[in-house]
C-alpha cells in the first residue's frame, strides 16, 4: 500500500503542480499584445474592452437593430448566409452573438468548476474517513477519485482573445482551486508520512 501511495502522490504532485504553474503563466506572464492589434476591426476592439455581459448585450442590441434596418430596406441587396461573416452589418452581429455565448459558457464553466471540485474535495474527505475508520482500500479509491476530479476541473486554459473579464474570473478560480488542491495534497501526504512513522 505504501508503494502505491508514494507513486500516486508523486504523479498527483507533478500534474497539479504543473497545472498551477501554467495558470500562473497565463494569468501574469504570457504576452497578450500583438503588432496586429492596431488593425483590429472596431467591433473586435469593443468586445475586448467590454467589462460586463450587459455591455456586450447592449452592443449586440445595436448591431441587431442595424441588421433589421438593413433588411427593412428593399433596395439593399440580399446577403447570402455564407457571406454574412464578412459582410456588415451581419458580421458585427455574429461576432457579438458568439462572444455573448462564450461569456455565458465561461460563467457555466465557473459554476461547474466549483461544483465538481467541491465533490472531489468531499470524496477525499470521505476517503480519509474510510481509510482510517473502515476500509483502507475503499478509502484509497475515494481519495484517488477525489484528487482526480479536483485535478481534472482545474486543468489549464488557453488564452482567450474576446472579452477578458469572465475569462480572467474563470482563470482565477482555476488557479486558486489548483493551489488549494496542491496544498491539500502535500498536507495530506505529510500527515500520512507522520502517521506511518508514529505507527512504526
DSSP track, 119-150 = HHHHHHHHHHHHHHHT-HHHHHHHHHHHHHHH
How many whole angstroms separate alpha carbon 164 and alpha carbon 52?
Answer: 9
Instruction: Note whether 182 and 16 are within 8 A (CB).
Output: yes
What residues in the chain have per-residue pLDDT under 70? 159-163, 196-200
Instruction: Note whether 163 and 95 are within 8 A (CB).
Output: no
How confident is the model at residue 92, as a pLDDT?
A: 95
How confident is the model at residue 23, as a pLDDT?
A: 94
**H or E element that contains 168:** helix 165-199
The three cell numbers locating residue 135: 476500509
How many whole angstroms separate alpha carbon 4 and alpha carbon 120?
Answer: 20
As to burial, measured by CB atoms within 10 angstroms (0-12 exposed, 13-18 middle, 19+ buried), residue 97 is middle
**Residue for grid cell 485535478:** 151
How confident is the model at residue 161, as a pLDDT?
A: 64
61-94 b/e (C-beta count within 10 Å ≥ 16 → b): eebeeebeebeeeeeeeebeeeeeeeeebbbbbb
Instruction: Note whether 95 and 47 are within 8 A (CB).
Output: yes
How confident is the model at residue 15, as a pLDDT?
A: 95
How many whole angstroms separate alpha carbon 149 and alpha carbon 184?
Answer: 14
Record the pTM: 0.86
Which pLDDT tens digit goes with each residue over 30-54? 887 778 778 888 898 899 888 899 9
Amino acid at each position: 500500500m505504501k508503494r502505491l501511495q508514494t507513486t500516486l502522490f508523486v504523479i498527483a504532485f507533478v500534474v497539479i503542480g504543473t497545472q498551477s504553474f501554467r495558470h500562473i503563466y497565463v494569468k501574469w506572464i504570457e504576452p497578450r499584445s500583438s503588432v496586429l492589434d492596431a488593425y483590429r476591426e472596431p467591433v473586435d476592439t469593443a468586445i475586448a474592452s467590454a467589462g460586463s455581459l450587459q455591455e456586450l448585450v447592449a452592443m449586440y442590441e445595436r448591431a441587431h437593430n442595424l441588421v433589421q434596418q438593413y433588411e427593412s430596406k428593399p433596395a439593399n441587396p440580399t446577403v447570402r448566409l455564407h457571406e454574412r461573416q464578412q459582410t456588415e452589418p451581419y458580421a458585427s452581429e455574429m461576432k457579438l452573438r458568439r462572444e455573448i455565448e462564450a461569456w455565458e459558457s465561461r460563467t457555466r464553466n465557473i459554476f461547474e468548476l466549483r461544483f465538481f471540485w467541491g465533490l472531489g474535495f468531499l470524496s477525499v474527505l470521505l476517503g480519509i474517513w474510510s481509510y482510517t475508520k473502515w476500509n483502507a482500500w475503499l478509502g484509497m479509491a475515494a481519495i484517488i477519485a477525489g484528487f482526480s476530479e479536483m485535478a481534472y476541473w482545474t486543468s489549464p486554459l488557453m488564452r482567450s482573445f474576446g472579452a477578458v473579464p469572465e475569462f480572467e474570473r474563470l482563470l482565477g478560480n482555476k488557479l486558486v482551486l489548483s493551489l488549494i488542491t496542491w496544498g491539500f495534497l502535500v498536507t495530506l501526504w505529510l500527515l500520512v508520512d507522520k502517521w506511518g512513522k508514529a505507527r512504526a
